[in-house]
Amino acid sequence: MEIFSEPNKKNNLSLALGYFDGVHLGHKAVIKSAVEYARKHGTKSAVITFKDHPCCYFYGVCPKYILSREERRKQIEKIGIDYLYELDFSKISTLSAQDYLENILIKNFSPISISTGFNHYFGAQKSGSTEFLTQMSNKYNYIYFKIDEKKLNGETISSTAIRNLLADGNIAKANLMLGYNFSIEGTVIKGQQLGRKIGFRTANITYPPELITVPFGAYSVKVILQGQVYNGVTNIGIRPTVSTSNRCSVETHIIDFNKDIYGEKIRVEFINMLRPEKKFNSLDELKKQIKYDISSTLFD
């Protein structure tokens, strides 16, 4: 997959439009539509999106993302897209729907097809819609695909719904909507090394500040290290039993693993929330709880 920050001349593309934060099951259906149509007609597919969420421009504050930019790229690439355009929203924010369609999409890509979600809007004051794209399809000679909403047990899958689930600690349901496990990545750093003193060594990383924050507590996780997958338990919080600091820490105990991995990059995939964070009366009480957390983890 090639990545561009500006439009360029690539004709006869099959386009997927949207921001695609999370690249959840609904987003995947839109992108897959573009990929499949391109392959059927012997051409290339492209996602047209933005480097940052439009809210960053309109409100001066970016929303908490579900995926880092790097991970969003990886998820999009997995679907089979040929080109990814991450445009600067501020450069096109004042364009009308007509100008954006004609002078950005048609002029640069001469699309044979355009795919969007069922609730897609674009252009200044949201002047462009699915109805507009349908109306313009004959004029500009493209096929338009409006992808219906995807649901999980009757609930519409959306980035907002997933953010709310993650913020509530409902990891398992969020993962079902995503179609993969919510995760964070980081380089293992040295902590206070209290874990090894009580018999549970931990790999500490920093929680990515741009991502939606899950509640303080203990989680069953999968840990990916150097291409290998391990089971683990992660605690996120301020460690009230052993610390008076309000600084958030992310500590992962990798089960049946006893190597020093300082400086290594790991990915922590969340499976489900085990319990909220709490203050224990003693280290012995904490050790018993950690043992219980390990024994009660749920893995596929």
Q: Residues with catalytic annotation?
A: 251
How many Cα atoms are found within 13 Å in the side-chain-facing hemisphere of 168?
10
Phi and psi based region of residue 173 (left: phi greater than 0; alpha: psi -120 to 50; beta: remaining) = alpha
Select from 234, 242, 245, 240 the least CA-distant residue to 275. Answer: 234
Burial of 70 (0-12, 13-18, 19+ CB in 10 A): exposed
Instruction: Give the whole-angstrom CA distance, residue 113 versus residue 43.
Output: 11
With contact defined as beta carbons under 8 Å apart, do 158 and 167 qualify?
A: no
Let me know how many helices (H) and strands (E) the chain has, helices first. 11, 14
Q: What 3-state class would DSSP assign to 250?
A: strand
CB within 8 Å of 235: residues ≥ 6 apart: 202, 217, 218, 219, 249, 250, 251, 252, 277
Residue type for position 134: T
CB-CB contact of 269 with 190 (8 Å): no
Residue 249 DSSP label:
E
**Structure token pair of residue 122:** 């674009």
HSE (side-chain half, CA atoms, 13 Å) at 22: 28
